[in-house]
Amino acid sequence: MAVTSPAARLTEAEYLALERSAPFKSEFFDGEMFAMAGGSPMHSLMGANLIGELRSKLKGGPCRPFTSDLRIKIEATGLFTYPDVSVICGPLHFVEGTDDTVVNPTLIVEVLSDSTEAYDRGEKFQHYRQMPSLKEYLLLASDCLASNISRGVLMMSGSCARWKVAPPS
């Protein structure tokens, strides 16, 4: 019987070097890279429309919207990810030694899809909650025309879960 050795874990520096030259985006957590799937036309349209609205509303102020090309690191957990839309208020705070990975979003938006909804509502949200700068997490669902925003408490009911707006405890 052949014994296989576990795959070697990557360091953050190795991940960033690979990611910067890769033809596709990947998340990184606990030494492993996870390729990200492409989105549907509706997914893309929702993100683009939101970016346009946010840019218009935020123009002239300290906050700026960013597309899914901006990589974010959750320092408390080590997750590197690419939210569909993010907003950063004030200066960008970069991961030490980088100029392309930030740690201080104020708002993160994920457009839900069948393949990512459970992750976006569950494990990924648990990572995001560890970010001191994050004030709001918005989930957009194209299939039930609902948007959900969280300021701290998640309330689930029915096929289209809703975030109950509540102050963090």
Q: Is the pLDDT of residue 31 over 90?
A: yes
Q: Is the pLDDT of residue 109 over 60?
A: yes
CATH number 3.90.1570.10 given to 40-164: yes
Residue keyed to tokens 């990200």: 36
Report domain extents, the chain: 40-164
Phi first, then psi, for residue 112 (nearest 5°) are: -75, 145
Across the chain, what does the average pLDDT equal?
A: 84
pLDDT digits (tens, 9 = 90+) for 122-157: 999 999 999 999 999 998 887 655 445 454 433 333
| Residue 159: how many other CB atoms lie within 10 Å | 8
Of residues 49 and 40, which shows the higher confidence score?
49
| Both tokens assigned to 89 | 């208020």
Average pLDDT over residues 75-97: 97
